[in-house]
Chain A
């Protein structure tokens, strides 16, 4: 199936049709911030924001999620509140890619493919049935660095349908079978013209060329392994205050804690986002903490994203969305950190 065209006047119809089958999430404003929220109509969508303040990971991996409830009678996994599957409108290429990465951890049981106990039922229930409408970035931000890691402003990875905002219309191109099946059933589309496709192409090349040149990352993992014991980590982490703003805003950070909440014999077991930046993350009952120092924790976060995850799963655990860059209260810019690593040599001299 080729690209189709949806005139913006028909967009509210499209959202209605989509809502009939799916619970639709889209970028919206909550207080002064932007995040992905459930929407019912076009008016609730924030079309202006390019990168939302909070990443969409929370749609599939909520910041707190009840694993089960317990009481004297036993254990019950709560029924899903929303009966319909999830559709997401307006997901940028960096974010849709992040879902593929998270799916490697939660979904596909890569550790032991034959053993379904290594799959996460809470993630799969939401993600496997979802429909992702991606959104091309025509004007990338100065904090965007998706092009460092093989992404791009018009990347289609992780999307079911790729959408380009072409001014008075949305041009939609199915990426997966699921995407084309959905589009085929709708009536509000017109076939795209050669002109439409030329517009999409032009927007893509303009967006790509507007981005700063990427840093070379091919041997980043090896460099990091090499520098593990070096003093560079103290230099890098000096100003870090070890809050979790970076990990919580990150679309790919997925570490969590499991906690119980309850009184007497009734309660809930909950998983909540956690952060490797917190000293308590690795604190053992004995009081021993294998990562007691701030520099060790900063190193862990960087190593996990750019060395350990690539070694285990074959790709960097970073999509270059730039959220951690803007969220950091002390402006510890991950791009600067990686540049420092790239320029560092073992004599202890930082070049450039």
Chain B
């Protein structure tokens, strides 16, 4: 069964039956390695929709990006496992109402990290991509390269446990179920074995690359403060330079702001034009939240996000002992 065809049918009937006014999906982009967001408002536009390894964008950002656009509108959205968690989180945080969203879950086998592909082609431009399941073929001027899927998937996908939407109205295709992904914390565990000096050097080198374009923040479905702390200038909380003293503070505070709210979709890391490993700290914080509060962001629509809930038996060193 072809997922893309099923998705198109589904969008068409949702629009035709007026169950949604707008459907958020993906269409083929102008570059072979990246799909682009698609806003469907009429049946005939549904044929543009696709679902494949290039559909990396977490479309739930649009719920919070321009809330007015969605006022009084029913919106359908195509989701991967991580995207569905963002939608759930948006619902739990009262950004959207469950009854106004139609969630269409898709079986996700991971999405590409463009930068990993380009590392494999040694900088040569990719003009065509063929997804063969376990392998991916990329073609360009004078080269034709077969790559193992794992080599070019987004790091977030390689560590993903929940590839299927846990909350949905429709599910297209066959669910993959939970993926154990036992090695998912390997990177963090290795990092933790380093000396504090080595950890500092590694962290500094990573965040020194930042140019403050805020692509990471703006593609993040959990980053939707009306005025971000970096934009406040009275008082100004952090400096505006791209020195690591400023950039590190930006990223660390952002990490803490999305603690218990980061769904590890990896959108930030894929969006970063400077190839910063943003996921590691996010994952570390998510791991801590799970250990301390037993919560995984956006997994349970009946749950409460860890940071907006309080239980009497929670570990609280300085209050409850």
Q: Using a CB–CB distance below 8 Å, which chain A residues touch chain B?
A: 30-34, 46, 48-50, 53-54, 63-64, 139, 141-143, 238-239, 241-245, 247-249, 257, 259, 261, 270, 272-273, 275, 278-280, 294, 325-327, 329-333, 335-336
Contacts and interface: CB of A to CB of B under 8 A. Distances in A.
Interface in B108-142: 115, 119, 122-125, 127, 141
Contacts of A244: 212-215
B146 interface: no
B31 interface: yes
A332 B34 CA distance: 11
B239 A327 contact: no
Nearest to A33: B275
Contacts of A63: 211-212, 241-242
Q: Which 3 A-B pairs have the closest CB atoms?
A: A329-B271, A64-B241, A331-B36
Contact of B30 (A139, A259, A335): A335
Contact of B242 (A48, A261, A272): A272
A275 B215 CA distance: 12
A275 B213 contact: yes
Given A31-B275, A53-B274, A329-B215, 6 more contacts: A46-B123, A243-B213, A243-B217, A257-B240, A273-B212, A331-B29
15 contacts: A31-B209, A32-B119, A54-B274, A139-B141, A239-B37, A241-B218, A242-B218, A245-B215, A259-B239, A270-B240, A272-B241, A294-B65, A326-B31, A331-B36, A333-B36
Contacts of B178: none
A68 B19 CA distance: 60
A328 to B, nearest CB: 9
Contacts, number: 128
A142 B29 CA distance: 13
B20 interface: no
Contacts of B274: 31, 33, 53-54
Contact of A245 (B29, B271, B275): B271
A341 B274 CA distance: 31
Interface string B226-243: 010001010010011111
Contacts of A273: 211-212, 242
- Quick one: which of B211, B233, B271 has the most chain A CB within 10 A? B211
Nearest to B231: A280
A294 B241 contact: no
B270 interface: yes
B65 A241 contact: yes
Contacts of B29: 331, 333
Contacts of B217: 243
B214 A278 contact: yes
B240 A332 contact: no
A12 B36 CA distance: 44
B34 A331 contact: yes
Contacts of B270: 329
Interface in B250-285: 267, 270-271, 273-275
